[in-house]
Amino acid sequence: MQEKKIYIIGHKNPDTDSICSAIAYADIKNRTENHTYAAKRAGQISQETQYVLNRFQMDPPGYVPNVGPKVRDMDVRRIQGVDSSISLKKAWTLMRNENVNTLPITNEDNELEGLITINIIAESYMDVYDNSILSTARTQYKNILDTLDGTMVTGNEHAYFIKGKVVVAAANPDLMENYIEEDDLVILGNRYESQLCAIEMNASCIIVCEGAPVSKTIRRLAQDKECVIISTPHDTYTVARLVNQSMPVRYFMKRDEMTAFRMDDYLDDVKEVMAKKRYRDFPILDKHGKYVGMVSRRNLLGIEKRKLILVDHNEASQAVDNIESAEILEIIDHHRLGSLETIAPVYFRNQPVGCTATIMYQIYQEKGLDIPANIAGLLCAAIISDTLMFRSPTCTAVDRNAAERLAEIAGITCEKFAAEMFAAGSNLRGRSPEEIFYQDFKKFDLNKANFGVGQITSMNPEELVEIKGRLLPYMEKALGSHGESMLFFMLTDIIHESTELLCYGGDSLELAKEAFHKEPKDGSVTLPGVVSRKKQLIPAFMNALQQ
């Protein structure tokens, strides 16, 4: 089995730092370790981040909204699909050889047509008393030959028995005329008179048992009457017992209300469906609807967890969905210690710097790796974004030095690039209030308070005023959609280094007043000098909540 990639992923609603640091750390890991690493994202990319990726000709990481195990993580049994024309006996033999209880029936395009199970075959053998079922099932003579180990004396093995009943000619020829009808299939022995009688009664097929010879006269007469003759080494009892097993599985297979799963289905959903069904095995399809294999409840045991490295966060509320189902290997962050718990010890690197990208720069230096120009550009952009071009109180001398060195490698100047990037990121025309609100949104659980804080930064104060008018009504709609009792949104003016904080729900106005000792007005409070959610807003909220 091919080794699964280890995902490096940031927080939901990822910012530029979260995306760029994931890309950089995947580059570091793939160049220094034997495993395969892939940068991923847990949310949609902002305009600012997209501008940065385009500027340095980098593809965005793949979108992974949920890291819970999927069907593809199970041990899918690659049981070959079979044609619907095969006999019940052949299906039974395949099941015994493969040690399975269910066989998938597929067409020539590998599309699932039905399922045949051991129970279905048993029921067909025990519950069928209709002596016309062989023709009703449109049984091919080839199947009858295979089932009875027979040889075709006259007729076409690819033809079908489609009319008549199955009759055992145990009586003498005089009595046979009373129960043999036209188109019947007659099982008989080596008596010439019985063979002749069956053919003259216009039987469509006669099965001669115990390898008895068939005379030239009988053959010629059968050919003239278009009667199929099959010779079998088995006795009459055995043939009568086996012949129904030659029927095609298509007549018995389950084809309606089949429960199939896709390779990308999450196991939480699969388990729920399996619990409601009494089937032992379930077919798996790929994204194109083609048959892949089979799984059962047993395959749910021992599922390997998705391995993750987290960057730019360590809060459970900010992590990708189903994080508790994954195995966290490392955390690289620059925020406060959050609520994330791990089962086993992990490598945890947390530094009081303004940006995770700064830590990535340090790791490149520590490992003696050259930084590719495009990745240097990404990391520089992340530092500029997170520190608001070194204006944020979170910015340290280490951040500034890293950004300037990265800018040299990338062939850019920080000031000019920052203006271009912020202009691209603050161009929010045409974006819905929901897209703006969740562009950079994080949830927090502090002292039993549950709230969310979004933020946008802009170099255009007039744009912030317009956005405020659109966001205030939307916050009423958004409250509680992710379990928050309070919502806040930071409209941060980069030029004037200030924030207007929008407040909605619960005790949000009281919390803002207590934290910053300012009287809110019309649902907001102006905070001069406040530009950092991490360094200024959240610590102030924590102090207020503790008091």
* 7-28 pLDDT, tens digit each: 999 999 899 999 999 999 999 9
What value does the mean pLDDT take over residues 162-174? 82
Token couple for 46: 């902002």
Confidence of residue 112 (pLDDT cuts 50, 70, 90): very high
Average pLDDT, rounded, for the chain: 91
Residues of the chain with CATH 3.10.580.10: 72-125+251-300
Q: What band does 2 get if pLDDT is binned at 50, 70 and 90?
A: low
Say whether 240 sits in a helix, a strand or coil.
Answer: helix
- Residue among 39, 64, 40, 60 at smallest CA distance from 49: 60
- Distance of alpha carbon 69 from alpha carbon 76, whole angstroms: 13
Closest by Cα among 33, 32, 30, 36 to 6? 36
1: pLDDT strictly greater than 60: no
Q: What are phi and psi of 503, to 5 degrees?
A: -125, 135
In whole angstroms, give the CA distance from residue 534 to residue 537: 6
Fold of 6-69+305-412: inorganic pyrophosphatase (n-terminal core) (3.90.1640)
CA within 13 Å, CB half, 363 = 21
Statement: residue 447 has pLDDT above 80: no
What CATH topology corresponds to 72-125+251-300? CBS-domain (3.10.580)
CATH superfamily of this structure's domain 433-546: DHHA2 domain (3.10.310.20)
Kindly report the three-state secondary structure assignment for every residue of 171-195. CCHHHHCCCCCCCCEEEECCCHHHH
**pLDDT, tens digit, 9 for 90 and up, residues 341-353:** 888 899 999 999 9
Could you tell me where in the chain the CATH 3.40.1390.20 domains are found? 138-246
For 192-211, write each residue's pLDDT tens digit.
888 998 999 999 999 999 99
DSSP codes of every residue in 458-508: ES-HHHHHHHHHHHHHHHHHHTTTTS-SEEEEEEEETTTTEEEEEEESTTH
**Encoding tokens for residue 233?**
């080494």
Percent of the chain with pLDDT over 70: 98
pLDDT at 128 over 70: no
User: What was the pLDDT predicted at 433?
Assistant: 92
pTM assigned to the model? 0.67
pLDDT, average across residues 311-324: 92
Superfamily of domain 138-246: HprK N-terminal domain-like (3.40.1390.20)
